[in-house]
Amino acid sequence: MSRRILFRLSSIAIALVICAPVPAAELERGVAKLLETGWQRSSQSLAAAQQQFDELRQTSDDPRLLYAQTLVLIKHRRYDEASALLDKLLAADPKHLPARRAKGWIAMLKKDYAAALVDLDLLSKQLPEAKPGEEPDAANLDMARFLGRMFGFLEGPAADAAAEHTVENHKEQMLARWTSPYADAFEEARQGVLRQFEELDLEQDQTKADAKADEEQQKARELDALADERASLAEEQQALVDQAEQVRKEYGYQVKSLDRDISPLRPGLARLESQANAIAREIVVLRVNIDHLLDHADETDDPYEADRYDAEAHRLEFRLDRRESDLDAVQAEGAALTARLNELLAQRAAILARQQAELGALGQRSSDIARTGKRIQVQETKASRPATGNTARVRSLSAGRTALTTYDQFPLDSERQRLLDSLR
C-alpha cells in the first residue's frame, strides 16, 4: 500500500473522530454545566459559558445546546448575539416554539416591531390545533397568552411606534386561524396589558398632578421666602447707607476741627522762617563787620584809633550775641510749631484712615448684599417658571408604562428549568 493511500486513510480516520457526535449523556451534562456557569451575573461567567458552548458546538448542533446558550445570552442582555443564535436554531428547527417566542420577544424589546410581527405570526401558525372537546396543552396556551400580551403592548404602550393597520391585520388573521381556547387566552392577556397600561396612565397622570400641585406650593413658599429675604436686604442696605453717612459726618467734623487748629500754624511757621532768615543774614553781616574792625585795629599804629576800632567791635559783638539769642528763640518756636503741626497732621491722617476702613467695610457688605440680590433674582426667576410636575417618580412611571418588561418579562428561570428537566 502506498504512502499516499495510507496518509489519506489516516486523515479520514482523524476527521471521523473529530466529527463524531458527542454522546447524549455527555451533551446533557455539558448543557447543564453551561447553564450553571452562564447563570452567574459576571463577564467571567459569560466568557466561561461561551467557551463551553464553542467546545460543545464543534461536535453537536443539538437545538437544546443552542437554546441553552441563547438563554445565557439573554440573561446577560446580549440580545443581538442571542437573536443571531436563534436564527441558526430556527433555521435548523423552524418549529422550535420557545425559540420563536424568544426571537419575537427580543425584536419587541428592541422596538423592531415589523420583524417582531413576522415572528409572532409564525409562532401563532405553529401552535398545534386542539382536538375537539380537549383543552390545549398548558404550554401552548401560555404561548397564546404571550402573543396576547405582545399585541396588547403593540396596541397600547407602543401604539405610536407600531403601524396600527399592520398590527390589526395580523391580529385578525391570527384569531381567524385559532380555536376558542387559544383566542380566549390571547384576548384575556391582551386586555390585561391594555388595562395595566390604562392604570399606569392614570397613575402617571395622578402622580404628575399631585407632583405639580406640590411643586406649585413649594414655588409659592420659595417666592415668599425670597421676598422676605429681599425686603430684609433692602432694609440692611438702607441702614448701611445711613451708617456710611453718619461715619462721614462724624469723621468730617473731627477733620474740620483739626483743620481749624492746623490752619494758623502754617502762616506762623512761614513768619518764623522769615524772621530766622533775616536774623541769620544780620548775624552774617555783624560777623563780617567785627572781623573788619579787628583787622583795622591790628593794622593801625595810632593807639587811640585802635581803641576806637576795638570799642566798636565790642559793641557789635554785644549785638551779635543778642541776635544769636533771638535766632535761637525763633528756631525753638519754629520747632515747637513744626512738632505741633506734625502731630495734628498725624491725627488727621489717622482719622481719615479709620474713616476709610469703616467705609470700606460698609462698602464690602453693600457689595455682598448686591450679590445676594442677584442670587435672589435668579432664584425668583426659576421659582416663577410654571410647575411641570416632572419628578423622578413621574419620569420613572412614564418610562415604565412604555417598557415591554413592565408587561412581559422573559421567563428565563422557568425556561432554564424546563430545559434542564428535558435533559433528564
Ordered mean pLDDT values, 10 residues apiece, the chain (424 residues): 44 40 79 94 94 92 94 96 96 94 97 95 88 79 95 94 90 87 93 96 93 92 93 93 94 92 90 93 94 91 90 92 92 92 93 93 94 93 91 92 94 94 83
State the pLDDT at residue 24: 78
Give the integer Cα–Cα distance in Å for 419 and 402. Answer: 31
| Angle ∠(10,11,13) on CA atoms, nearest 5 | 65
* Domain ranges for the chain: 8-203+408-423, 221-384
Grid cell locating 54: 464553542
- State the residue for C-alpha cell 525753638: 332
Give the integer Cα–Cα distance in Å for 31 and 27. Answer: 6
State the pLDDT at residue 21: 55
Contact 27, 65 (CB under 8 A): yes
Give pTM, 2 decimals: 0.68
110: three-class secondary structure by DSSP: coil
* CB-based contacts of 49, cutoff 8 Å, min separation 6: 34, 37, 38, 69, 72
* CB-based contacts of 182, cutoff 8 Å, min separation 6: 127, 130, 136, 140, 141, 144
State the pLDDT at residue 171: 93
94: three-class secondary structure by DSSP: coil
- State the residue for C-alpha cell 386542539: 130
Please tell us whether the domain made up of 221-384 is placed in CATH 1.10.287.1490. yes
* CB-based contacts of 96, cutoff 8 Å, min separation 6: 63, 67, 89, 90
Query: How far, CA to CA in Å, does 134 sit from each of 124, 129, 130, 131, 174?
Result: 19, 10, 6, 5, 20
The candidate with the shortest Cα–Cα distance to 153, out of 409, 407, 411, 410, is: 407
State the pLDDT at residue 143: 94
Question: Topology of 8-203+408-423 in CATH?
Answer: 1.25.40
Contact 345, 262 (CB under 8 A): yes
State the pLDDT at residue 137: 86
Q: How far apart are the first and last CA of the chain?
A: 48
Amino acid (1-letter code) at residue 111: K
